[in-house]
Structure 1
Amino acid sequence: MKEPRNHAKVGYSMIVVSASLAVVGILALVIGGNVLFADNMQRDNTLHFNECKENDFKSEGCEKYWDRINNEISGIYVDLDE
Structure 2
Amino acid sequence: MKEPHNYAHVGYGMIAVAASLAAIGIIALFIGDNGLLADNMQRENTHHFNECKDNNFQTEGCEKYWDRINNVVSGIYVDLEK
The bucket for the TM-score relative to the shorter chain is: 0.7 to 0.9
Q: Is there any run of 5+ residues in structure 2 with no aligned partner, and where?
A: none
Q: Is there any run of 5+ residues in structure 1 with no aligned partner, and where?
A: none
Q: How many residues align?
A: 81
How big is each residue's C-alpha offset from its partner over 1:30-49, in whole Å with a ceiling of 9 and x where there is no partner?
Answer: 11221111011011011101
Deviation at 1:73, TM superposition (A): 4.4
Say which structure, 1 or 2, has more relative contact order (CA 8 Å, 6+ apart).
Answer: 2
How big is each residue's C-alpha offset from its partner over 1:5-62, in whole Å with a ceiling of 9 and x where there is no partner?
Answer: 2111111100111001000011001112211110110110111011101111111111
TM-score where L is the length of structure 1: 0.80
CA RMSD, 1 decimal: 2.4
Structure 1 ranges of 4+ moved more than 4 A? 75-81
**Corresponding letter in the other structure for 1:33:** D
> Which residue of 2 is the match for residue 28 of structure 1?
28
TM-score where L is the length of structure 2: 0.80
How many percent of aligned residue pairs carry the same amino acid? 73
45-54 vs 68-77, which moves further: 68-77
Matching of residues 1-82 of structure 1 within 5 Å: 4-71=4-71, 73-76=73-76
Q: In 1, Cα distance between the equivalents of 2:5 and 2:48?
A: 57
